[in-house]
Structure 1
Amino acid sequence: MMSNSKHKNILVKTVGIVALMTVFVFAMVPLYNVFCEITGINGKVLVSKELYESVKVDTSRKVKVELITSINRGMPWDFSTDTKTLEVYPGKLYEVSFYAKNKSKSTITGQAVPSVAPSQASFYVSKTECFCFDQQTLLAGEEINMPMKFYIDPDLPDSVHTVTMSYALFNATSKDSTAALGQ
């Protein structure tokens, strides 16, 4: 039979492990952002309206841009874009629109997480406006068209002919706000 001190030791270790796991969960997003910034993986892109003002358009070539949307399992929204592909001149500002509709009977907040492939292209994709910068809250049945303005830097390597920008939509509704709304 175990003594009380052994039980306390096991309890303290278990609580410590749970506490570390909780801290790790909250640290994941900042750690992921740092990792993406260092490696250029998963498409963290530049955001600068001022930077665009000094960019020259390169009409000597075009780059194919593919736009992909996906919805995380359990997210009761429609999420799409009518523009699946477009040919762009590097340095020229383009605007595309994304559509979202909350199909549920409650208010839901969504967060679109962007990604760029190939990963080296993420250094050359700049957005001046994007729905992915902020969470989007839609009432039950509400729908919205969301703009995204971007340009491809003319310094994009000539070996990159296609850039894929994908957006994964996740439910970002906090349990506290859902409870406060009586949902």
Structure 2
Amino acid sequence: MATEPTGKTESNRKLLIKLVVCALLMAGFGYALVPIYKQLCEIMGINVLTQSDGTVERDANTQIDKSRTITIEFDANARGPWRFRPVQSSMKVHPGELATVMYEVVNTQSRAMAAQAIPSYSPQSATPHFKKVECFCFKQQTLKPNEARQFPVVFFIDPKLPREVKNITLSYTFFEIAGADVSK
């Protein structure tokens, strides 16, 4: 039975330690990617689903700007076996005024399904000024087989919206979340 020279054993041990440290660093980096990605998206304004806790703080002295009227148009797109639409196609609001619009979703399948709505705004410059107080897009929704539900979106337009913006389109894309637990 031949034994390895002591120098080679020591060299192998150092290599093993380096490989284990490298694997741990890679696993740690992979684990940290999700929060880093979310933070970068929030900073850059890309794919922002909600405010940090899903709520909006309103300044106590927010005034309604009655001198301006903004037309809000509502749009809905379904990715999957859904019927999804806004109950009304548009409304006029004054900046600072609290407003509510309802969206209707129908699960057309004979199985429970989980979904998420992603909002988008046009023009893009209106995005930071469209403040949602309550929205079904803040969390995943589960619908029972053939269930129909209406979800409210409570919002206001920040009075700091540039004066040249007179129309805003709020569009939602509603899509199924594959592999989600729908037993709740």
With normalisation by structure 2, the TM-score equals 0.72
Residue from 113, 116, 127 that aligns with 1:111: 116
Give the Å deviation of 1:152: 0.1
With normalisation by structure 1, the TM-score equals 0.73
Report the Cα distance in structure 1 between the residues aligned to 2:33 and 2:144, rounded to whole angstroms. Answer: 30
Report the Cα distance in structure 1 between the residues aligned to 2:160 and 2:141, rounded to whole angstroms. Answer: 33
Cα gap change, 1:168 to 1:29, in 2 (>3 Å) = farther
Report the Cα distance in structure 1 between the residues aligned to 2:150 and 2:40, rounded to whole angstroms. Answer: 31
Gaps of 5+ in 1: 1-15
Identical counterparts, % of pairs: 31
Residue from 118, 122, 127 that aligns with 1:122: 127
Aligned residues: 156
4+ long deviations beyond 2 Å: 26-31, 33-50
Q: Hey, what does 1:164 align to over in structure 2?
A: 169
CA contact (8 A) 1:41 1:119 kept: no
Gaps of 5+ in 2: 1-22
Q: Hey, what does 1:65 align to over in structure 2?
A: 72
CA contact (8 A) 1:110 1:137 kept: yes
Residue from 129, 142, 146 that aligns with 1:137: 142
Report the Cα distance in structure 2 between the residues aligned to 1:97 and 1:86, rounded to whole angstroms. Answer: 12
Report the Cα distance in structure 2 between the residues aligned to 1:132 and 1:76, rounded to whole angstroms. Answer: 18
CA contact (8 A) 2:102 2:152 kept: yes
Cα gap change, 1:45 to 1:89, in 2 (>3 Å) = farther
Larger radius of gyration: 2
